[in-house]
């Protein structure tokens, strides 16, 4: 399984790919002998993965920025409705108040 086999990961696993490369690079540095070829391959793979991750993050940022600007530009001012029946709202509020009062009494009797 080496670096080349791990490279075929899905794009959403790029941070994991970078972590794997860093771990392999750290293992190589902790070993007594230095293999410059492996070190060069890991360094190149790490820099490519970081560049790819930055590119994808920039694409996502631009996409979200574009979507947000479209939403802001497409907003049409909505005029508030002035034609409401205040009597209906009073009735609804009174019913809600009664319900909350009954609910409160019900929970009080349970606690006692």
pLDDT in tens, 62-107: 999 988 887 766 666 656 666 666 777 788 888 888 888 888 887 7
Q: Are 43 and 25 in contact (CB under 8 A)?
A: yes
Residue 39 makes CB contacts below 8 A (sequence gap 6+) with 25, 28
Instruction: Identify whether 109 is part of a domain.
Output: no
**CA pair distance 15, 62, nearest whole angstrom:** 20
CA-closest candidate to residue 2, choices 16, 21, 18:
21
- What total number of domains does the chain contain? 1
Domain with 39, as residue range(s), is 3-74
**CA pair distance 71, 81, nearest whole angstrom:** 23
Predicted pLDDT at 1: 42
Predicted pLDDT at 61: 93
């Amino acid at each position: 399984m080496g670096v080349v086999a791990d490279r075929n990961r899905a794009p959403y696993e790029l941070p994991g790919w970078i972590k794997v490369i860093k771990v392999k690079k750290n293992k190589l540095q902790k070993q007594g002998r230095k293999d410059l070829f492996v070190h060069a391959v890991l360094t190149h793979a790490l820099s490519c993965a970081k560049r790819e991750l930055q590119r994808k993050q920039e694409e996502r940022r631009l996409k979200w920025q574009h979507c947000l600007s479209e939403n802001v530009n497409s907003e049409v001012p909505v005029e508030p409705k002035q034609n409401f029946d205040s009597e209906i709202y009073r009735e609804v509020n009174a019913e809600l108040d009664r319900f909350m009062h009954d609910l409160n009494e019900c929970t009080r009797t349970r606690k006692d």
